[in-house]
């Protein structure tokens, strides 16, 4: 039961206010309206009575992490009338990891349901797939597909979420469960309270580490080298070779692919995006790769402009030996390549009473599935449907959350399994 209901309530009057029946609670002969701030300064979620049942129609929800998963969830839950705040540790606008996104039906559905954009407006169409063989032959097959970029989607979602409820430079370090609410602690020493906490804080989630300390990501045995080149900077032969196609080359212990995506800062321009998977089994080698010249060690991604020139040079030499000429040329003209180790993450549970894990904090399917963002969109849409408080008590919501969890666990397990199978099929992560 919710916190206010534990107070010494003497009587309750109902009165209509906008479309919510706010009740005025008599506490020690003083009337207080719910949905307002109480004398102790705490937000009171709005609840009302219907056929003798106590219903809540506005909960205070804190989302930790303001990347795509957090924004998708924040937008969807606000539409259900909840007071949603997003807390993001980064101080400024998040920059993409340079990679593109294959548009999947759940992303399209989300954008459509929230009137944010049509997929045509945010994507680059491709007509074919081409498979480049070791002997130089090329197999082509017609396969129309729409590609977008992380950045394009991020900007649309940021515009759709009210900036006053998006709190940057707020790194969560911990949370404490009090009787009926959660107190969230930030690195800057501040604290906020919420009825529910949603962890959208990615693969290294601090929230998951607290509720599920035994689960952690496991390295898959290979990394993805990544980069993009603006269309204006592409020599004609490279442009013609890759234009309008999703291109693949499968080598021994490595695989490369490329496709065009919208540009970072201009809606009119496009860029060619490539991803080169390479098996690196030796953990020391990986550790060395992920450590910058000034000694900083990154676990999940080494951002652009952090790779030492010597590493980029060695990688270009490797490309010459291993890849078909068009890809070698593409890598040679890429200005700031970067590297991301591939990790697997799978959780056995996503709902922990009033704490919910979603997006990459729960399951990280390998990039071959192109499903990270669409999974987050599905998590968010279904969660918002669960949080529809019309005719629902908190106890009923808790029951619904368990149903949500069953569905989301099924999807997460399916996608992570598929990602591993695709990695194995491409002979990545082990040597032969």
Q: Which of 26, 90, 145, 329 binds ligand FAD (CB under 6 A)?
A: 90
Q: 253: which DSSP letter?
A: T
64 binds ligand FAD (CB under 6 A): yes
Both tokens of residue 59?
């909960």
**Of 370, 374, 131, nearest to 257 (Cα)?**
131
**Of 243, 237, 278, 269, nearest to 258 (Cα)?**
243
Both tokens of residue 124?
């680059």
Cα–Cα distance measured from residue 184 to residue 173, given in angstroms and rounded to the nearest whole number: 8
What string marks each residue from 125 to 164 as x (binds ligand FAD by CB under 6 A) or -? -------------------------x--------------
**Of 357, 356, 353, 395, nearest to 56 (Cα)?**
395
Residues in contact with ligand FAD, counted by CB under 6 A, come to a total of 31
Q: Find the part of the chain contacting ligand FAD (CB under 6 A) among 155-163, 201-209, 319-327, 387-395.
A: 201-209
97 binds ligand FAD (CB under 6 A): yes
Dihedral angle sign, alpha carbons of residues 399, 401, 405, 406: positive
- 66 to 85, contacts with ligand FAD by CB under 6 A? 66-70
In this complex, which beta carbon is closest to ligand FAD, that of residue 370 or of residue 394? 370
Q: Which of 229, 376, 389, 409 binds ligand FAD (CB under 6 A)?
A: 376
Contact 120, 388 (CB under 8 A): no
**Of 222, 133, 259, nearest to 424 (Cα)?**
222
For the chain, the straight-line distance linking the first and the last C-alpha, in angstroms and rounded, comes to 58
Rounded to the nearest 5 degrees, what angle is found at the Cα of 193, between the Cα atoms of 158 and 55? 90
Q: Find the part of the chain contacting ligand FAD (CB under 6 A) among 111-119, 208-216, 324-332, 370-378.
A: 370-378
2 binds ligand FAD (CB under 6 A): no
Q: Which of 44, 62, 77, 101 binds ligand FAD (CB under 6 A)?
A: 101
Dihedral angle sign, alpha carbons of residues 255, 260, 262, 264: positive
88 binds ligand FAD (CB under 6 A): yes
Shortest reach from residue 275's CB to ligand FAD, in Å: 9
428 binds ligand FAD (CB under 6 A): no
* Residue 266 burial by Cβ neighbours in a 10 Å radius (0-12, 13-18, 19+): exposed
In this complex, which beta carbon is closest to ligand FAD, that of residue 55 or of residue 364? 364
Q: Which of 74, 359, 419, 429 binds ligand FAD (CB under 6 A)?
A: 359
Dihedral angle sign, alpha carbons of residues 149, 359, 389, 355: negative
224: β partners: 277, 340
Q: 37: which DSSP letter?
A: B
In this complex, which beta carbon is closest to ligand FAD, that of residue 4 or of residue 369? 369
Cβ-Cβ contacts under 8 Å for 19 (sequence gap 6 or more): none
Q: Find the part of the chain contacting ligand FAD (CB under 6 A) among 88-96, 123-131, 244-252, 314-322.
A: 88-96
368 binds ligand FAD (CB under 6 A): no
**Of 246, 226, 277, nearest to 123 (Cα)?**
246
**Phi, psi at 272, each rounded to 5°:** -95, 125
- 204 to 243, contacts with ligand FAD by CB under 6 A? 206
Q: Find the part of the chain contacting ligand FAD (CB under 6 A) among 18-26, 92-100, 341-349, 387-395.
A: 92-100
415 binds ligand FAD (CB under 6 A): no
Q: Which of 372, 412, 419, 429 binds ligand FAD (CB under 6 A)?
A: 372
Q: Which of 84, 220, 373, 411 binds ligand FAD (CB under 6 A)?
A: 373
Contact 358, 376 (CB under 8 A): yes
Cα–Cα distance measured from residue 199 to residue 106, given in angstroms and rounded to the nearest whole number: 20
Q: Which of 59, 75, 76, 99 binds ligand FAD (CB under 6 A)?
A: 99
Closest residue by beta carbon to ligand FAD: 359
Q: Find the part of the chain contacting ligand FAD (CB under 6 A) among 8-16, 90-98, 262-270, 306-314.
A: 90-98
| Binding interface with ligand FAD (CB under 6 A) | 64-70, 87-90, 94, 96-99, 101, 150, 171-172, 200-203, 206, 359-361, 372-373, 376
């Amino acid at each position: 039961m919710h916190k206010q209901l534990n107070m010494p309530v003497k009587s309750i009057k109902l009165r209509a206010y906008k479309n919510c029946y706010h009740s005025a609670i008599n506490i020690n002969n003083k009337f207080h309206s719910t949905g307002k701030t109480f004398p102790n300064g705490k937000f009171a979620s709005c609840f009302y009575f219907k056929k003798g049942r106590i219903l809540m129609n506005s909960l205070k929800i804190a989302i930790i992490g303001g990347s795509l998963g957090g924004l998708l969830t924040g937008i969807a839950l606000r539409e259900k009338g909840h007071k949603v705040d997003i807390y993001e540790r980064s101080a400024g606008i998040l920059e993409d990891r340079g990679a593109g996104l294959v548009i999947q039906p759940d992303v399209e559905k989300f954008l459509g349901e929230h009137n944010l954009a049509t997929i045509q407006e945010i994507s680059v169409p491709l007509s074919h797939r081409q498979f480049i063989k070791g002997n130089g032959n090329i197999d082509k097959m017609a396969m129309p597909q729409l590609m977008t970029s992380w950045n394009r989607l991020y900007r649309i979602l940021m515009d759709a979420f009210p900036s006053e409820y998006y709190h940057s430079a707020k790194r969560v370090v911990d949370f404490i469960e009090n009787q009926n609410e959660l107190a969230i602690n930030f690195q800057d020493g501040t604290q906020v309270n919420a009825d529910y906490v949603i962890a959208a804080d990615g693969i290294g989630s601090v929230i998951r580490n607290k509720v599920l300390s035994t689960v952690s990501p496991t390295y898959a045995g290979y990394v993805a080298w990544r980069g993009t080149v603006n269309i204006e900077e592409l020599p004609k032969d490279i442009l013609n070779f890759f234009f309008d196609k999703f291109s693949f080359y499968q080598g021994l212990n490595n695989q490369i692919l490329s496709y065009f995506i919208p540009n970072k800062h201009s809606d009119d321009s496009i860029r060619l995006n490539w991803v080169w998977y390479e098996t690196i089994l030796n953990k020391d080698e990986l550790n060395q790769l992920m450590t910058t010249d000034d000694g900083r060690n990154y676990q999940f991604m080494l951002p652009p402009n952090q790779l030492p020139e010597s590493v980029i040079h060695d990688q270009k030499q490797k490309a010459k030996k291993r890849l078909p000429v068009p890809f070698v040329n593409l890598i040679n003209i890429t200005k700031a390549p970067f590297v991301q180790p591939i990790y697997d993450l799978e959780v056995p549970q996503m709902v922990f009473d009033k704490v919910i894990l979603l997006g990459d904090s729960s399951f990280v399917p390998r990039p071959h599935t192109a499903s990270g963002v669409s999974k987050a969109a599905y998590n968010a849409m279904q969660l918002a449907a669960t949080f529809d408080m019309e005719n629902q008590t908190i106890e009923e919501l808790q029951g619904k959350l368990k149903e949500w969890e069953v569905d989301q666990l099924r999807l997460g397990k399916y996608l992570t399994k598929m990602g591993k199978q695709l990695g194995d099929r491409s002979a990545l992560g082990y040597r032969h």
